[in-house]
Amino acid sequence: MKATKKILILSFILNFFILNAQELVSPNEKIKVELKTSKGKADKVYFKILYKNKETYTEVLPESQLGIVQKNESFDNLVFIGESKIIEIHDDYIMISGKREHCENFGNQKTFNFKNKNNQKLEIVFRAYNNGVAFQYVFPNSSEKKVNIIEELTTYVIQEGTSRWIQLFEPSYEAFYPQSETGVSSDKNNGNWGFPALYKVNENPIWVLISEAGITENHCATMLNNSKKQSEYKVTYPAARENFKQIGAVAKLPWSSPWHTFAIGSLSDITESNLVTDVSKPNELKDTNWIKPGAVSWIYWANNHGSKDYKKVVEYVDLAVEMKWPYVLIDWEWDVMANGGNLEDASNYAKSKGIKPLIWYNSGTSWLEPTPVDRLLTAEKRKKEFEWLNKIGIYGIKVDFFAGDQQDMMQYYIDILKDAAKYHLLVNFHGATVPRGWARTYPNLMTTEAVYGAEWYNNNAVLTDKAAVHNTTLPFTRNVVGSMDYTPVTFSDSQNPHITTYGHELALAVVFESGLQHFADRPSAYYDLPLAPKEFLKNFPASWDDTKLIDGYPGEKVVIARKKNDLWYIAGLNGKDTTQTLTLTFDFLSNGNYELQLITDGKDSKSLDSKMLKVKKGETIKIDCLPRGGFAGVLKAK
């Protein structure tokens, strides 16, 4: 009897300390999250993500550590103390700009409760959506005293041999997304990598895009770092700046972290994902009728300079009139405009032609040479400036040169968006952090740069050879998480040549989504286009009812369709230096007969061909593209 009793006690002890696997499954049962926790003792907590490929679950994220640290309290070794019931999530909302107007997603949410060695509580909230996973940390205790969250222990495992497309981190997010199987860092980034991060799950047709969303004034933004081990990417806070020594975030409790997001599924699931806005705060603006996406004529690219020449500005206003684009952007140096007029004269001329002017600002936080500088840094300065803009008839601002991803910069971005909304001003962030969901919360945010875009043809010759590969990677990486101000569709050359074809450049208007689509070339380049491509660009929409990926692979090709009212705009890019045949399948159409105006590469890189085709749902056509070529077109029901 004594021996039996000892065995029972030992069995009880072993069961008490055994590692448990808590799980959460998406409503469609395609995605499963598993947490490995320790019952009854402090231990590290891990999670992994699985995706149902056919009838079996495939591991898409191996066991990865969770944890977070306050300045005076660590939440690394945790005791699991319980979990909530499942809460059904139904995101259903309207976006003014983005890849689709009506966004809807379904998920299941569960909160896992822990305590650390000092009995301080931590909640980890997981959501398993039908097309991804999101989680955040929550400190539930209340406190009037502010705490400093200094580090995350969150570490994502991406094993060697996994194909990945991640950019070396730099504060403006203007870098490439090269394909790699190792994730080897370089001296340039000290192991730091920027969001979003795309990878393919080995030989499976499953893709994952990692990012973050839902950032508020209580957060800094983060990056990934694999300097300790190449296969382990740790969520990392930005380093202190010279004039901002704080590490991490400072806020009162209760506090919740930003959402860590994983879009998961086929490549079309990734490209069409709205997960970043799904988990972000709903629209906080009561009146949004004044917010109008649209095409913009842009002066800087062709001239490698700003807007100090009034007569040049007039040329771009006239371009907007001819192309029926609603906006003109007056870029830097407008404060020293001369040669026939000043900013107010330019604004009045634009308005007399029915064109809405937008103007550029230096944020005053980073690169201080281009003027005007330091007109937006405080609430008082913004009030004075925005009242003046209303008076002279300016409709929006482009704010450039932000200093980094620290908490003060997150606060600054949001302050600009809130104050601009009070004065009905559209906002475009440049030299800025990658989108993290603000376009849903503050829909006057129309677009963000955070991309190695066509502007770089002004700076060096790198983009000349890399553009085609880069352009066919961005739809699966950067442009997934938010509107992207690449400043596309340039047929002539700026300071450095580009060798993509005219068909490729025309296609960028559709392939790249941006709430303000800045067409960057000189007026003569658009005036000299043949009739079909010129008409294609006239009245071009910058917001979409829906988006569908037809075909693609990062760095090789992309074929995409976007719907606006009763029209479908389609486009394809060849990312290779050799000819390639792209496939356009019309499965996305409704039943009926359609007419396709198709514009393709011509006999050489600087010519275009156009033809009309009749198509139906389910049909497929093949389109031959030149090296670094492309095509574009418009579909309408007959």
Is the Cα torsion angle 367, 370, 371, 372 positive or negative in sign?
negative
Rounded Cα distance, 435 and 417, in Å: 13
What residues does each domain of the chain span?
19-277, 289-450, 453-515+529-638
With beta carbons less than 8 A apart as the criterion, state whether 161 and 201 touch: no
Which residues sit opposite 207 in a β-bridge?
Answer: 200, 265
Give yes or no on whether 289-450 and 453-515+529-638 have one common fold.
Answer: yes
CA proximity to 322, closest of 493, 504, 528, 510: 528
The percentage of residues in the chain with a pLDDT greater than 70, rounded to a whole number, is 97
> Residues with Cβ < 8 Å from 245, sequence gap 6 or more?
none
413-472, pLDDT tens digit by residue?
Answer: 999 999 999 999 999 999 999 999 999 999 999 999 999 999 999 999 999 999 999 999
Tell me the two tokens of residue 530.
């043949």
Mean pLDDT of 391-399: 98
Q: Is the dihedral of CA 510, 270, 231, 54 positive or negative?
A: negative
Sheet containing 294-298, strands listed edge to edge, beginning at the edge strand earlier in sequence: 445-448, 426-429, 396-400, 356-362, 327-330, 294-298, 516-519
Q: Could you give the CA distance from residue 375 to residue 454 in angstroms, rounded to a whole number?
A: 27
Cα(first)–Cα(last) distance of the chain, in Å? 88
- Tell me: pLDDT of 4 over 70: no
| Tokens standing for residue 553 | 């692979």
Exposure string for 620-638, b = 16+ CB within 10 A, e = fewer: eeebebbbbbbbbbbbeee
Residue 131 gets which letter from DSSP? T
Across 317-404, where does the E strand assignment appear? 327-330, 356-362, 396-400
Nearest-CA neighbor of 371 among 359, 358, 356? 359
* Helix-helix angle 407-422:379-392, to 10 degrees: 30
Structure tokens at 387: 């009242």
Least confident window among 364-368, 475-479, 576-580 = 364-368
| 629 in Cβ contact with 595 (< 8 Å) | no
Architecture of domain 19-277: Distorted Sandwich (2.70)
Among candidate residues 418, 419, 364, the one with its CA nearest the CA of residue 386: 419
Residue 134 and residue 275: Cα distance in Å, rounded? 8
Q: What is the pLDDT of residue 54?
A: 84
**Which residue do the tokens 């606060």 mark?**
411
Tokens representing 489 are 């569709």
Long-range CB pairs of 302-305 (<8 Å, 24+ gap) are: 302/492, 302/494, 302/520, 302/521, 302/522, 302/525, 303/522, 304/458, 304/494, 304/495, 305/333
Among 487, 459, 502, 514, smallest CA distance to 298 is for 487
What is the CATH architecture assignment of 289-450? Answer: Alpha-Beta Barrel (3.20)
Tens digit of each residue's pLDDT (9 = 90 or more) over 17-57:
344 679 999 999 999 999 998 777 889 999 999 999 888 99
CA 117 to chain centre: 38
Q: Taking residues 548-553, what's their average pLDDT?
A: 98
The string of DSSP letters for 594-624 reads EEEEEEEE-SSTT-EEEEEEEEETT-EEEEE
> Which whole-number Å values give the CA distances from 289 to 41, 293, 421, 423, 426, in the listed order?
55, 11, 12, 13, 12
- The length of the chain is 638
Contact in structure between 423 and 393 (CB atoms under 8 Å): no
The pairing of strands 426-429 and 396-400 is parallel
Residue 20: its pLDDT value, please? 63
- Distance, in Å, from the CA atom of 14 to the CA atom of 359, rounded to the nearest integer, reads 68
For residue 281, give the DSSP letter.
P
- pLDDT, tens only, 254-310: 999 999 999 999 999 999 999 999 999 999 999 999 999 999 999 999 988 889 999
Q: How confident is the model at residue 351 (pLDDT cuts 50, 70, 90)?
A: very high
Taking residues 326-343, what's their average pLDDT?
Answer: 97
Two structure tokens written together for 467:
């553009």
Residue 106 has pLDDT above 60, yes or no: yes
- The pairs formed by 237-241 with CB atoms below 8 angstroms and a separation of 24 or more are 237/150, 237/151, 237/152, 238/404, 238/405, 238/406, 240/406, 241/403, 241/404, 241/406
Tell me the mean pLDDT in the region 110-130. 97
Closest CA relative to residue 269, chosen from 199, 218, 206, 220: 206
Q: What is the mean pLDDT of residues 57-66?
A: 97
Residues contacting residue 437 through CB under 8 Å, at least 6 positions apart: 213, 214, 215, 276, 277, 279, 280, 281, 482
CATH class of the structural domain 453-515+529-638: alpha beta
CA-CA-CA-CA dihedral for 621, 626, 627, 633, to nearest 10:
-60
Amino acid at 631: F
φ, ψ for residue 504, nearest 5 deg: -65, -50
What per-residue confidence (pLDDT) applies to 15? Answer: 39
DSSP structure class, residue 315:
H
**Buried/exposed 572-584: b ≥16 CB within 10 Å, e otherwise:** bbbbbeeebebeb
